[in-house]
């Protein structure tokens, strides 16, 4: 998967902290209206729901126009029950997945939106899993890393509440929860013929045999154009983070309107 060009719109704000000075990893999505990049971004998102070869088969089988098929069966619509919520949640998860993969170098399987039974349905379990092998040939090492990410969307609000919600839910993680998501990813990738990535996932199902680093991340995206250097509403200490956990915040102007603009282009 190639990095979509919108990635260049992530601007890191390294000086942002919580009220008590505890650090937060903060990015501003400083975007501009660019039809070519928006269309590319929309295609990138559509491929999370249905891959190109699967879409070709679907069009052949249903004899439907591509746009009609995608709107009716695949892409959440503004007029669907829970459609705007599905767009908001999916847009947020895909954006955080892209940040982890194309900025931080993790491999992030894209299984959550793939071939859902309903356009607004979402898989339970860990929102995002990513991994990184220390050894370039993927030979298991104890400093291989698995990241488990809890994501909260606040695309229609400038409130900091999604940060607190993401941290609260990330503290609920245990071995059972992320293990079920790992197994779902492995089986999904195997069925899609992606054996190498399925085998990579299987390595992280064997912690007792081959230990690895497990990192929890709480991530939130909110619609606030500017963030002060100190987020005065929240003390980092009050969040009672799991040891070693990290907090990511992405912000930008009118993000729900942006999400709708991109999703309306997911028609090819």
What does DSSP assign to residue 73?
I
Residue 268 lies in a domain: no
Q: For the segment 87-118, what is each residue's pLDDT rounded down to a tens digit?
A: 999 999 999 999 999 999 999 999 999 988 89
Structurally, the chain folds into a number of domains equal to 1
- Spatial separation of the C-alpha atoms in residues 218 and 147, rounded to whole Å: 10
Name the band, by pLDDT with cuts 50, 70 and 90, for residue 56: very high
The mean-pLDDT minimum among 11-20, 170-179, 186-195, 197-206 falls in 170-179
Q: What does the alpha-carbon distance between residue 15 and residue 119 come to, in Å, rounded to a whole number?
A: 39
Report CA 190 to chain centroid distance, whole Å. Answer: 21
- Alpha-carbon distance of 178 to 129, in angstroms, equals 8
Can you tell me the mean pLDDT for 139-148?
Answer: 92
Contact at 8 Å (CB) between 149 and 125?
no
Closest CA to 109 of 178, 201, 179, 180: 201
> Per-residue confidence at 239, pLDDT binned at 50, 70, 90?
confident
Residue 230 is predicted with a pLDDT of 84
Cite the beta strand spans of the chain per DSSP E. 10-12, 17-18, 25-29, 128-132, 145-154, 213-222, 230-231, 246-251
The secondary element (H helix, E strand) that includes residue 261 is helix 255-263
Sequence-separated (6 or more) residues with CB below 8 Å from residue 238: none
On whether the CB atoms of residues 108 and 128 are closer than 8 A, the answer is yes
pLDDT at 173 over 70: no
pLDDT at 244 exceeding the cut of 80:
no
pLDDT confidence band for 54 (50 / 70 / 90): very high
Residue 3 in any domain: the answer is: no
- Residue 1 is predicted with a pLDDT of 82
Least confident of 39-48, 176-185, 215-224: 176-185
Least confident window among 4-18, 120-134, 155-169, 232-246: 232-246
* Residue 2 in domain: no
pLDDT tens for 15-47 read 898 888 888 999 999 999 999 999 999 999 999
Judging by beta carbons within 10 Å of its beta carbon (0-12, 13-18, 19+), is residue 33 exposed, middle or buried?
Answer: exposed
Domain that residue 239 falls in? 9-263
**Does any domain span residue 159?**
yes
Alpha-carbon distances, residue 156 vs 9, 25, 151, 189, 259 (angstroms): 20, 21, 15, 33, 10
Buried b vs exposed e over 133-144: b needs ≥16 C-beta within 10 Å? beeeeeebeeeb
Mean local confidence (pLDDT), 158-182: 84
**What share of the chain in percent tops pLDDT 90?**
74
Judge whether 16 lies within some domain: yes
Q: Which pLDDT band holds residue 232 (cuts at 50, 70, 90)?
A: low
- How confident is the model at residue 174, as a pLDDT? 65
Domain membership flag for residue 194? yes
Q: Is 149 helix (H, G, I), strand (E, B) or coil?
A: strand
Q: What is the mean pLDDT of residues 134-157?
A: 90
Of 249, 97, 79, 49, the residue nearest 162 (C-alpha): 249
pLDDT band of residue 121 (cuts 50, 70, 90) is: confident
pTM: 0.94
* Cα separation, 7 vs 39, whole angstroms: 14
Tokens encoding 206: 């064997």
In a domain, 146, yes or no: yes
């Amino acid at each position: 998967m190639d990095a979509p060009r919108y990635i260049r719109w992530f601007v890191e704000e390294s000086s942002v902290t919580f009220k008590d000075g505890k650090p937060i990893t903060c990015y501003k999505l400083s975007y501009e209206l660019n039809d070519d990049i928006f269309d590319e971004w929309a295609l990138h998102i559509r491929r999370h729901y249905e891959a190109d070869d699967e879409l070709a088969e679907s069009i052949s089988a249903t004899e439907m126009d591509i746009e009609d098929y995608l709107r009716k069966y695949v892409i959440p619509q503004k007029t669907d029950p829970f459609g705007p919520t599905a767009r908001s949640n999916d847009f947020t998860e895909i954006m955080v997945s892209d940040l982890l993969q194309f900025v931080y170098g993790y491999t992030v399987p894209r299984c959550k939106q793939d071939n859902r039974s309903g356009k607004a349905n979402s898989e339970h379990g860990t929102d995002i899993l990513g991994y990184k092998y220390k050894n370039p040939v993927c030979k298991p090492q104890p400093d291989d890393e698995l990241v488990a990410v809890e994501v909260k969307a606040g695309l229609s609000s400038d409130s900091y509440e999604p940060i607190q919600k993401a941290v609260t839910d990330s503290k609920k993680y245990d071995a059972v929860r992320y293990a079920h998501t790992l197994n779902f990813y492995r089986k999904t990738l195997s069925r899609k013929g992606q054996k190498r990535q399925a085998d990579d996932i299987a390595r992280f199902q064997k912690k007792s045999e081959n230990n690895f680093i497990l990192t929890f991340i709480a991530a939130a995206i909110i619609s606030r154009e500017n963030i002060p250097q100190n987020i005065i509403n929240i003390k980092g200490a009050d969040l009672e983070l799991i040891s070693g956990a990290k907090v990511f915040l992405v912000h930008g102007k009118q993000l729900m309107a942006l999400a709708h603009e991109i999703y309306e282009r997911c028609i090819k």
